[in-house]
Structure 1
Amino acid sequence: MGKPDAEGHGPADGLPGLPPEWGRVVVPDDASALAAEAAQIRRELRRAGGDRRALGLPLLVLLVAVLTTLAGLVVVTWPRANRSTDRPTPAPHTPPATLTGRALPALDLVGADDAPVPLRGLLPAMIILLDGCPCPDRVTDALAAAPAGVAVVTVTGGRTVPTGPTTQRPVHALADPAGGLRSFLGQPARPGTATALLVDRAGTVTRVFPDLGTVESYRHDLSALAS
């Protein structure tokens, strides 16, 4: 063990004066004598570190819970585009912009006697497609407005040719089983809608009506076919 000083409070060499309340301090000559105290100190340090880790785990769980809750609130309250459940209104079918001014194809349709009828042989004409709607009132109005020399032709799908309206002027009722005229228009038949086109005597399409309206919407163009 180390040598105490003259008062018996510790080695006389290399140590400053120590507070008297510390009591007697003995410095051993062999450091191994302090092994037990060192082990105790290491245990205390490990215990303190373990307490910090034990406290850190609940804090980490609390932090994750708070962040999860905030993320959920952001998702619920964030404004989103197109939240409306209303379905967009489909755009009406319209023929290609280049259809007016094009030549009517040489189509052979089917007459009431199941014989082929060249469509271009009936020109000039107002041709009304009735595969989406019988629309007898539209046909009657066209017959009344058509000038002399301009035919009114009705076209249906399949091979059945329906009887036209009873008027003083006959209508040319034809069927288009191959769908050639509808294919030329480039638009499908729509329920409740009659489609019409005006074709002059040279076979050129002068106007197309995807949804044939009242006679006032085409009277002038129809009269122009007679010139």
Structure 2
Amino acid sequence: MGKPDAEGHGPADGLPGLPPEWGRVVVPDDASALAAEAAQIRRELRRATRLPGGRRALGLPLLVLLVAVLTTLAGLLVVTWPRANRGNDRPTPAPYSPPAPLAGRALPALDLVDASQAPVPLRGLLPAMIILVDGCPCPARVADALAAAPTGVSVVTVTGERTVPAGPTTQRQARALADPAGGLRSFLGQPARPGAVTALFVDRAGIVTRVLPDLGTIETYRQDLAALAS
């Protein structure tokens, strides 16, 4: 059993001060000595849980615990949930969409102007290889196209300026036109690029057969010219 103090009111040390109304408190050396008291306490707890008031008394702490757990989980979700717009995130750029293919489409009825500012219906020159020289005059490329073009196929150069310089009249030359309104560029959907020469091939029915964003050597389009003549 426990060791009482000098007055016989409990152990000499090891316990804090207890209220006097508790009376004499003896701490046993062997915990099995309290088995009877523990069994009685368990019976009283079971009896309390069978009563309506007991269920309410036990239900309230469980409810508080449940609310605490749910609050913690909600906080974790807020912290870890991926956000679409964070402060340091950049908006996703729209994907680049190249111009729609023009092959198989009809050339619009555009009226361009010649060196005398007279209107010239572009569809009246078909079949034709139309070369846009607003990005580069590139006379050597135009000369190559003239040399490769079969009889009956026009070679037309188009500039974006309002006037067309007059060319020599002693040799074959391309039909030089101006497109100050930019209608042909708008149809192509491709802006002029410095140093680049754009060409399109249009058959006698007015259908675009091919577009070359940057005109290369004759061998890259010789067959297209031959197809226009057939």
What's the TM-score once normalised by structure 2's chain length?
0.57
Question: Residue 229 of structure 2 aligns to a residue in which SS?
Answer: coil
Taking structure 1 as reference, are residues 95 and 222 closer, same or farther at Cα in structure 2, changes over 3 Å only?
A: farther
Sequence identity percentage: 77
Alignment counterpart, residue 152 of structure 1, candidates 148, 151, 155: 155
**Contact 1:95 / 1:208 at 8 angstroms: preserved in 2?**
no
The offset of 1:13, in angstroms, is: 4.7
1:14 maps to a residue whose letter is G
Q: How many residues in Structure 1 have an aligned counterpart in Structure 2?
A: 143
Alignment counterpart, residue 173 of structure 2, candidates 170, 178, 186: 170
**Contact 1:120 / 1:203 at 8 angstroms: preserved in 2?**
yes
Measured in 1, the distance between the counterparts of 2:9 and 2:227 equals 127
Partner in structure 1 of residue 207 of structure 2? 204
Residue 145 of structure 2 is aligned to residue 133 of structure 1: no
State the superposition RMSD in angstroms: 2.6
Alignment counterpart, residue 124 of structure 1, candidates 115, 124, 127: 127
What's the TM-score once normalised by structure 1's chain length?
0.58
1:97-152, CA deviations, whole angstroms, 9 ceiling, x for partnerless residues? Answer: 2x101000000001110010000000000000001011111100000000000000
The offset of 1:183, in angstroms, is: 0.3
The offset of 1:14, in angstroms, is: 3.1
The offset of 1:158, in angstroms, is: 2.0
Segments of structure 1 that go 5 or more residues without pairing to the other structure are 1-10, 19-90
The offset of 1:164, in angstroms, is: 4.5
Question: Residue 153 of structure 1 aligns to a residue in which SS?
Answer: strand
Measured in 2, the distance between the counterparts of 1:153 and 1:132 equals 15
Segments of structure 2 that go 5 or more residues without pairing to the other structure are 13-95
**Contact 1:152 / 1:172 at 8 angstroms: preserved in 2?**
yes
Structure-to-structure mapping, 1:19-34, within 5 angstroms = none
